[in-house]
Every structure is written in structure tokens, then in C-alpha cells.
Amino acid sequence: MRRELFYAFLLLYLFAIGYLAITLPIGPNEAKVYYTDSGVLYALSHFAKGWFSNGLDFRLPFFLSATVNIVLFLMVSQIYFSKKEESYLSTAIFMLLPGIITSAIVVNIAVVVITLVLLFILFYVKRQLTLQTITILLLLVIHDASIIFFTALAIFSWVKKEHYLLILSLGAFLLSLIFFNGLDIGGKPKGDFLALFGLYMALFSPLVFLYFFYALYRIWLREEKDILWYISFTAFILSLILSLRQEVKITDFAPYVIVSVLLMIVVFQKTLQVRLPQFQKGYRFGFYLLIGSLVTSASILFFHKSFFYLLDDKSKHFAYRFYEPYWQVEELHEIGQDCYTVTSKKVQYQLKYYGIEECKESYVPKIHR
């Protein structure tokens, strides 16, 4: 991808996700975090409260973090590719991943974790030990499931005989076990293995996930395994193992897995380079097909609101939970009603954000929905 094309695409992309962040109504999980969370997400979602009178009032830090992630990913990609065109292409693919787009426009901790993971990789490559330590401490405090990351670092540093990083990662691992929540591994075996694959396909898009799976496997068998591979592979395998006995929270693992999209491009380039031009056509066609699937999935997200007009039953739309309470608020304002009661606490928080409080029992009977 040429430099001019990449920056034109970047401007269009930032405009698109900025527009979505502004116009998308507050979601049920976002509203719950806004009113009930007491940690990092609460602070971030209230950082710009009252600044814009739109979605950026609670989404600004996440939009900014997503923008920073693009820059950081471009910097990391330049470590792997000698040609800037390849760095631009890999960054564009990263930007088009459904999970990356979604993390840029809704309140979530994953986008901040991705920022810290990318920073750590840059600090590791530059051998900046103090900044590595600071990044690990930030992850320890910010992300309850950062024990995944520390496990990957411990395995990597033990294999590569990097003593400082081994001590640092093991120390963070123990602190996570003692003082922080860590991973939830309780409950009865449920067998959500296939469901987890469905979540990963939604995160990457189906074709990209299949190639991601192949790339990790190929590197495991044939290629040199670096820190990025250890982070992604460890998180991915841990999620699969845990899914055999319980429901896996995809946001715990996604930040550590999704950064490995860079390795897919590395594997593809190596596969292409060892073949004569006449034997490259099939691989190039597959690559264009993959890019096409990413553009399609991104377009569905960017233009999702238009699909409401095509559905007779709007509740079947994947974004219905964002819009339905907002539409209800507009109807209540039209009739001059300032309270409404629902059985779902998350929906009640959505209504509250737009000025509709829960009715008192003496005012109106509960409406079950």
C-alpha cells in the first residue's frame, strides 16, 4: 500500500469511527459501567463528561486510545518489514478488523490493554527495561486478566533465557494471583469450545481468523518464534483450554490475541516470496478475498444503521440493544413522561443516561419487557 493511499484511508477511517462514537447511543454494558463501575473504566467513561453532549462524553478516551493504537501498530510493523508499503498494508488490515473497530467506539478495557501491549513490545525491542517494568505494572493494575500476559512473558523469557524479564513477569504473575481478581476458572464444566471459535470469528472476521489460526500453527512448526507469537499463542491456547470447562470472557483474551494479525502478513509474505510468479496467483487471489471480507464486515459496522430499514423485525438487528432504549426515550419525551420502569437494570441505566428515571411504585406499575 502506497503512503498517500494509506493516509487517505486513515483520515477516512478516523472520520468513520469518530462519527460512530458520536452518534451510537449508549449501550447496555456501557451504561452499567457508567453508573456502577468503580475502577478504571468508570474513570475513563467519566473523563469527558459534559464536554460534547454526544457519545464522546463517555467514549472519548477509548476513541483516542484506538487512534494511538494505529500509530503504535504501524511502529511495531516497521520492526517486521523492511518496506514501508508492507507496514502500511498490515496496519490497514489491523484497522479493518471488526474487533478493533468495535473497541474504538464502545466503552471497553480491551482497547487500553492493546495500547499497553503494543507499547511493551516497542520497549522490549528497544531494551528499555524501566519502561517495560512500568508497562507491566500498569497492566497489572488496569486489567484483571493480565495474568494471561504475564504467563506468556514468563514462558517466552524462560525459553529465551532472559533473566530480568523472567523475574519481572513471574513477580507480576504472583502479584496478580495474590492481590487482583485474575482469571475466573470456577464453575461447572460447560464445553463452550465451539462458541469461543464463533467469538473469535466475529473478532477477526471468519476468513481472517482461519488464516490467523494457520499462521500461528505454521510459525509453531517452522518459523522463528518471537515475543509477539508467544503472547498471542499463549493467550489463544489458554482461552481454548478454559473453554472446555467454562464460558470464556473474550475481552480477557482478545487484546493479547488480536495484535498477532501482524504475524499473518509476515507468514503470507514468506509464502509468496518462495514461489515463482506464475504460482503466486492463487495466493494473491486468496489474499484479495480476505481483504474483501474485511472491507465487507467493516462496511456492515460503519453503515449498520441503514440495515434497520431492511428488517421487518428490528429486534433482529445486532445493534438493537443500543437503539431501542434511545428510541423509547424519544417517545417518552414526546408525551411528556419523565420516568419509566423496566425489569432489566442495564436498560434502566440506558434510560437514566438520557434523563428517564425509574418510576416510583406509587406512580406507575412496572412494565415487564
Q: What ranges do the domains of the chain cover?
A: 312-369
Q: With 90 as the cut, is the pLDDT of residue 247 above it?
A: no
Instruction: Pick 196 or 74 by higher pLDDT.
Output: 74
Q: With 90 as the cut, is the pLDDT of residue 177 above it?
A: no
Query: What is the predicted pLDDT for the residue at 368?
Result: 40
Alpha carbon 358 to chain centroid distance? 33
Cell numbers that stand for 330 in this block: 424519544
The whole-number average pLDDT for the span 30-36 is: 96
Query: What is the predicted pLDDT for the residue at 56?
Result: 96
Gap between the Cα atoms of 234 and 238, Å rounded: 6
Do the beta carbons of residue 200 and residue 209 sit within 8 Å? yes
The whole-number average pLDDT for the span 306-324 is: 93
> What is each CA distance from 287 to 186, 210, 243, 326, in whole angstroms?
41, 12, 30, 40
Gap between the Cα atoms of 44 and 64, Å rounded: 11
CB atoms within 10 A of CB 255: 30
Query: What is the predicted pLDDT for the residue at 275?
Result: 63
Specify the residue for cell string 425489569: 343
Strand partners, 357: 339
Alpha carbon 275 to chain centroid distance? 35
The whole-number average pLDDT for the span 251-268 is: 89
Output phi, psi for 355, to 5 deg: 90, 10
> What is each CA distance from 313 to 331, 332, 350, in whole angstroms?
19, 21, 21
Query: What is the predicted pLDDT for the residue at 365?
Result: 45
Model confidence band, residue 169 (pLDDT cutoffs 50, 70, 90): very high
Gap between the Cα atoms of 178 and 299, Å rounded: 44
3-state secondary structure of 176: helix
Average pLDDT of the chain? 89
At position 143, the amino acid (one-letter code) is: H
Cell numbers that stand for 94 in this block: 489491523
From 19-28, 259-268, 316-325, the region with the lowest mean pLDDT: 259-268
Cell numbers that stand for 202 in this block: 466475529
Specify the residue for cell string 437494570: 345
Gap between the Cα atoms of 291 and 293, Å rounded: 5
**Nearest one of 191, 190, 151 to 173, comparing CA atoms:** 151
**Residues contacting 138, CB < 8 A, separation 6+:** 116
From 196-200, 235-239, 243-247, the region with the lowest mean pLDDT: 243-247
Percent of the chain with pLDDT over 70: 92
Cell numbers that stand for 84 in this block: 514501508
Strand partners, 339: 357
Gap between the Cα atoms of 33 and 94, Å rounded: 27
Gap between the Cα atoms of 279 and 132, Å rounded: 43
Q: With 50 as the cut, is the pLDDT of residue 26 above it?
A: yes
**Nearest one of 55, 255, 71, 45 to 145, comparing CA atoms:** 255
Instruction: Pick 44 or 279 by higher pLDDT.
Output: 44
Q: With 70 as the cut, is the pLDDT of residue 294 above it?
A: yes
Percent of the chain with pLDDT over 90: 68
